Chains A and B, each alone.
Chain A
């Protein structure tokens, strides 16, 4: 299968220093910006992004071109790049920020021009100081060359870019929480609507896009939307950077075209399971996603729709693989604990529910479970996510609460006997 490495080719060609502006420009970097600023209209750029049909890479897979089309006309408008990357299992944006910051900045310039934005923000999670240093240095280098700032290339277009560091809160990856955080407030999600495209940063029209989404923009404009749409699978196009982790022989980030099967991704690309053990289960799209199992899902295609039909999501592109030795109750507990810790506390079902779920799983793991605990877990899950449907029905402002339900429904569906065994273990009277 032949496909272009849209995002990572330069890192392969320049393994030491793909992050430097001279290397980037030497490989044709910022030429697309020149082409756009000297000869394209904003409408033409938006049209290419629409025809590319690129789905956002931050988690929700919403088509970027359609989102851009919702941007309200009021001014000023803002572009906010979401580099909060905190979904457990995900480390792809880190590589894009660290190894090719100019690709992102060129994407920011082109996108800002298309959207009529004169101030863009790159929000990077606080635990990413090195990626932030790299991006800040790249921003300064771009200013020094006149690619940012006033009257870029004599086009009359002005753009400032501010790099902002988060403070260690997963919820700030949710776009409205991120906007609150950027406004100097607590990072609590806002009720939608209004959507950010209408009322975003400082209540002005704002586009929030993921780092990977924006990093694709230079290639799309260079090669045309149709060329991008021709890569991958018809219902999910382009390449995607997947973060492979867990019990694999070859963990790490990989850029592959959409539409492989899970078997190909796990065994061919990821090298299979460490020590040639059996695959037990995997999380297909970050900690929020319901798990897949080899009996049913190895031949499902890695596209938005195929994964959704099978009851999960591609989410942030994080694939977490567990081999046969894994205690799935312990693994589920670890994921639930994450959501309990990261709940912002605004909504009762999430704040209370996630804490209860964690506590009950903890007592199961520690031999203090009760026979009623399985029903209790499912009942709490149902309170957070009524009917345990997929996609979840919401009782909360944002989907964080329902995300904590995914690992529990997963172990109940696929490994109920193991959960029951833990309960039974506890129920046995202690031997004298």
Chain B
């Protein structure tokens, strides 16, 4: 069966990405993780049919693919809001007041930790260390990072996401608006960001914001 016949419902850029991913590894099965991200991007979250498609692409059984998907926290098997807000509550962020940031975000987003807001705009989760401890407390929106977030800035971030409703979230833009101390100098700004709660990485899907360079 051709690749397109296995994933007829995927966009053609994502079909092309899938083809490249299958070629990037000595063995097809190694593409299971990136393909799961693509399936999640296609369907909003990881559906049973998405996992079955990935199984066919990689030569695994659907049960094997499910076993992989359930092992990792970033594969979401339930509906996720448009913006997934991840608040780090690990040790360094905890020491710098992350629990108050989480509470502020829960209040403003109308989504308690581990849930999605009724209007589907936000999902909120507390997460373990996201490698931004020098800029604690740290928050991610669709995995795009903001360092040095206060409870007030956390609230303002939620308001901004609701009102401005950016299609592509950019780490540099959010850092400028809602961030503070950073773990290190970030250097020049990036125009590429996330369009969904899936890590925005070229081979799996990311997008550029028009008019930014």
Chain A interface (Cβ < 8 Å from any Cβ of B): 11, 15-19, 76, 85-91, 93-95, 98-99, 119, 125-130, 132-133, 136-137, 162-170, 181-187, 202, 243-247, 251-253, 283, 287, 318, 320, 322, 326, 330-331, 334-335, 338, 341-342, 344
> B74 contacts the other chain (Cβ, under 8 Å)?
yes
Contacts known (A119-B26, A331-B91); A187 close to B133, Cβ less than 8 A: no
Query: A93 — which chain B residues lie within 8 A by C-beta?
Result: 131
Contacts known (A245-B136, A252-B134, A334-B94); A169 close to B71, Cβ less than 8 A: yes
What are the nearest 3 A-B pairs in CB distance? A167-B72, A184-B29, A245-B133
Which of B67, B68, B74, B204 is the one whose CB lies under 8 Å from A127?
Answer: B74
Shortest CB-to-CB span from A27 to chain B, Å, is 15
Docked-complex contact B187 and A126, CB < 8 angstroms: no
A381–B89 CA distance with the chains assembled, in angstroms: 24
Docked-complex contact A251 and B95, CB < 8 angstroms: no
What are 27 A-B residue pairs whose CB atoms fall within 8 Å in the complex?
A16-B188, A18-B187, A88-B128, A88-B133, A89-B129, A94-B131, A129-B199, A132-B199, A133-B190, A133-B201, A133-B202, A162-B25, A164-B30, A165-B199, A168-B127, A183-B29, A184-B68, A185-B68, A186-B68, A243-B133, A245-B95, A251-B134, A251-B183, A252-B134, A252-B184, A253-B134, A330-B94
Q: What mask results when residues 86 to 112 of chain B are scored 1 for a CB within 8 Å of chain A, else 0?
A: 100111101110000000000000000
A18–B184 CA distance with the chains assembled, in angstroms: 13
Name the residue among B24, B91, B204 with the largest chain A CB count within 10 angstroms.
Answer: B91
Contacts known (A165-B37, A331-B95, A335-B91); A130 close to B144, Cβ less than 8 A: yes
Docked-complex contact A11 and B187, CB < 8 angstroms: yes
A291–B85 CA distance with the chains assembled, in angstroms: 32
Q: What mask results when residues 1 to 35 of chain B are scored 1 for a CB within 8 Å of chain A, else 0?
A: 00000000000000000000000111101111110
A64–B86 CA distance with the chains assembled, in angstroms: 36
Which of B34, B36, B95, B185 is the one whose CB lies under 8 Å from A246?
Answer: B95
Docked-complex contact A244 and B128, CB < 8 angstroms: no
Which of A85, A126, A202, A247 is the one whose CB lies under 8 Å from B26?
Answer: A202
Query: B83 — which chain A residues lie within 8 A by C-beta?
Result: none
Docked-complex contact A136 and B25, CB < 8 angstroms: no
A168–B120 CA distance with the chains assembled, in angstroms: 23
What residue in chain B is nearest A169 (Cβ atoms)? B72
Query: B39 — which chain A residues lie within 8 A by C-beta?
Result: none
Chain B interface (Cβ < 8 Å from any Cβ of A): 24-27, 29-34, 36-37, 58, 60, 67-68, 71-75, 86, 89-92, 94-96, 127-136, 140, 143-145, 171, 181-188, 190, 192, 194, 199-204, 206
Shortest CB-to-CB span from B105 to chain A, Å, is 17
Contacts known (A251-B183, A338-B91); A320 close to B133, Cβ less than 8 A: yes
Docked-complex contact A136 and B133, CB < 8 angstroms: no
A129–B130 CA distance with the chains assembled, in angstroms: 11
Docked-complex contact A162 and B131, CB < 8 angstroms: no
What residue in chain B is nearest A181 (Cβ atoms)? B33
Shortest CB-to-CB span from A362 to chain B, Å, is 14
Query: B135 — which chain A residues lie within 8 A by C-beta?
Result: 251-252
What residue in chain A is nearest B89 (Cβ atoms)? A334
Query: B89 — which chain A residues lie within 8 A by C-beta?
Result: 334
What residue in chain B is nearest A161 (Cβ atoms)? B24
Docked-complex contact B136 and A334, CB < 8 angstroms: no
Docked-complex contact B134 and A244, CB < 8 angstroms: yes
A17–B213 CA distance with the chains assembled, in angstroms: 14
Docked-complex contact A331 and B94, CB < 8 angstroms: yes
Given A133-B206, A246-B92, 14 more A-B residue pairs with CB atoms under 8 Å apart are A16-B188, A88-B90, A88-B92, A91-B133, A91-B134, A127-B127, A128-B131, A181-B33, A184-B30, A187-B72, A245-B134, A252-B134, A320-B95, A334-B90
A36–B128 CA distance with the chains assembled, in angstroms: 41
Query: B86 — which chain A residues lie within 8 A by C-beta?
Result: 127
Which of B182, B183, B184, B201 is the one whose CB lies under 8 Å from A165?
Answer: B201
Query: A320 — which chain B residues lie within 8 A by C-beta?
Result: 91-92, 95, 133
Shortest CB-to-CB span from B187 to chain A, Å, is 5
A76–B77 CA distance with the chains assembled, in angstroms: 37
Docked-complex contact A94 and B183, CB < 8 angstroms: yes
Docked-complex contact B187 and A322, CB < 8 angstroms: no
Contacts known (A168-B73, A335-B91); A127 close to B131, Cβ less than 8 A: yes
Contacts known (A132-B199, A252-B183); A184 close to B60, Cβ less than 8 A: yes
Query: B95 — which chain A residues lie within 8 A by C-beta?
Result: 245-247, 320, 322, 326, 331
Shortest CB-to-CB span from A255 to chain B, Å, is 11
A327–B72 CA distance with the chains assembled, in angstroms: 31
Contacts known (A88-B129, A127-B199, A181-B33); A338 close to B90, Cβ less than 8 A: yes
Which of B32, B91, B182, B187 is the one whose CB lies under 8 Å from A89?
Answer: B91
A338–B94 CA distance with the chains assembled, in angstroms: 12
What residue in chain A is nearest B189 (Cβ atoms)? A16
Query: B34 — which chain A residues lie within 8 A by C-beta?
Result: 164-165
Contacts known (A90-B133, A169-B72, A331-B95); A95 close to B183, Cβ less than 8 A: yes
Query: B92 — which chain A residues lie within 8 A by C-beta?
Result: 88-89, 245-246, 320
Name the residue among A87, A185, A335 with the largest chain B CB count within 10 angstroms.
Answer: A185
Name the residue among B36, B136, B181 with the largest chain A CB count within 10 angstroms.
Answer: B136
Query: A16 — which chain B residues lie within 8 A by C-beta?
Result: 187-188
Shortest CB-to-CB span from B185 to chain A, Å, is 6
Which of A130, A136, A318, A331 is the one whose CB lies under 8 Å from B145?
Answer: A130
Query: A184 — which chain B residues lie within 8 A by C-beta?
Result: 27, 29-33, 58, 60, 68
A176–B135 CA distance with the chains assembled, in angstroms: 31
A244–B132 CA distance with the chains assembled, in angstroms: 11
Contacts known (A88-B128, A245-B136); A136 close to B91, Cβ less than 8 A: no
Docked-complex contact B94 and A91, CB < 8 angstroms: no
